[in-house]
Amino acid sequence: MAGRKEPVTFELKMGELSAVITKQLGLTPNSGSLLQRAPEPELRDADFAQLLSDGDFLRAARLLAEPDLYVVNRIGGGSMAPEEVRLYRKKSEGEDVAAVAVAPDGTCTLQLYADYRDYLSWWADNFAGKNEETMANYIPPTVSLEQFLIILHAVDCYRRVTFTNMLNYVYANTVYITGAEFARTMAASLKSGDIRWLLPAFTAILPGFARFNINIVPEDVGVLLEHNFFINARRAEDGEDVMVFGEAGRNMGVEFYRSWLLSSGFEINVAGPDGFTAAENIFIAPTALANHFARLLPQEDGKVLVNHQAYTREQLELKLAEIFAKTA
């Protein structure tokens, strides 16, 4: 995305920001605003006169306090600690978007972007994969959320088995795992919240994940066999049934093992008559080969489907722009 306009940036403590917006400007944060959960406004002797005369700050403050659309963007996982940026838009204020990130020490960075495209451009430059060539998408365009979680764990398992083999000085041409080990480690992985692994990263980095009901049944594992993540086999030495990594499991496993460093999640929330509702939930895991893009599609029966695509950077940018434009 060429021609990005750099945002105007303001930095102050969260309590100060809350105080300026609620006490000085007299704005009442709505349920979409981060300020609803902000600490009690702190008033100190600092002089906010300069800020209060800055048109950009005043516009950003109004967006932040009274948005009609907000986006939660989490970034992290792999080898990056999680961060969160929230975007705020108010149609009556025009195309401008306010972005807010709060550091652990309470310092709040407030930025005013000319529109959401400029933010997406900044995000893509910093966190999207740069690949220009297409690659195989081993995951069908729609699978159930439960099947998707199982596939993510299969990808993790390749790395896990490879590490285990290395630690045990085992060199194996054929990499495999038992069904029991797969099930045991998946439960442990989900429980761990360890975002160095893809499955827990998905659950932690995707905003709104906790809202979805997950009901994994044994049949869901069938997706791994149907799409060549695993091939059923029997171990020669003891006759035990094992699952050997197939073309899809091996290729995705190697791809993530060697080149996955971080992921991003987006939740777009839109104001309606009954408050804010999530309109989109998106997870993106870039690697050296593809931007793995997962879009959650809630169904009327309460189940959730996942549309996964392996995008080039250009495809990813086009798709995100399309989704944001549609929602906005």
Partner 1 sequence: MHTPLSDEERRAILERLPRLDAEYNELARQLADLEESGEDGSGTGPLREQLADIAKEAAGLLRRYTDSLPERPLSRCPFSGQILSLVIDDRGLDGLWWNHHAPKRPPGRLPATFFALDGALKLEEKPEKAPFLCAPGPDVPFVLPRLLQFTQVRAVVSSLKIGPHTAYPIVYYADPMLYGEKRVNDWGTDRYWEEGNLLPGVFGPGEYISLTPDPEEYDFDLKPWIRRGKLLWIAPGDQRLVLHGHATGCPYLDLPGSRRLKYIQNGEVWEDDPEYETMDENDPAFDLEHFRRLVERYEKGEV
Residues making contact with partner 1 (CB under 8 A):
133-142, 226-228, 246-248, 305, 307, 309-310, 312, 314-315, 318-319, 322
- Least Å from the CB of residue 309 to partner 1: 7
- Least Å from the CB of residue 231 to partner 1: 9
With CA atoms as reference, report the closest residue to 282 among 269, 293, 298. Answer: 293
**What residues pair up with 111 in beta bridges, in sequence order?**
9, 99
- Between 70 and 176, whose beta carbon lies closer to partner 1? 176
Contact (Cβ atoms closer than 8 angstroms) between residue 254 and residue 287: no
With CA atoms as reference, report the closest residue to 280 among 182, 208, 200. Answer: 208
- Least Å from the CB of residue 118 to partner 1: 21
- Least Å from the CB of residue 127 to partner 1: 21
- Between 152 and 195, whose beta carbon lies closer to partner 1? 152
Give CA–CA dist 309/283, Å, rounded: 11
- Least Å from the CB of residue 135 to partner 1: 5
Tokens 């996982």 found at? 77
- Between 139 and 161, whose beta carbon lies closer to partner 1? 139
Give CA–CA dist 38/27, Å, rounded: 14
Give CA–CA dist 130/289, Å, rounded: 8
- Between 183 and 321, whose beta carbon lies closer to partner 1? 321
- Between 271 and 289, whose beta carbon lies closer to partner 1? 289
Cβ atoms within 10 A of the Cβ of 193, count? Answer: 11
- Least Å from the CB of residue 202 to partner 1: 20
Phi-psi region of 77 (alpha: psi -120 to 50; beta: other; left: phi over 0): left
**What residues pair up with 139 in beta bridges, in sequence order?**
none
Strand, coil or helix: what is 102? strand
- Between 107 and 309, whose beta carbon lies closer to partner 1? 309
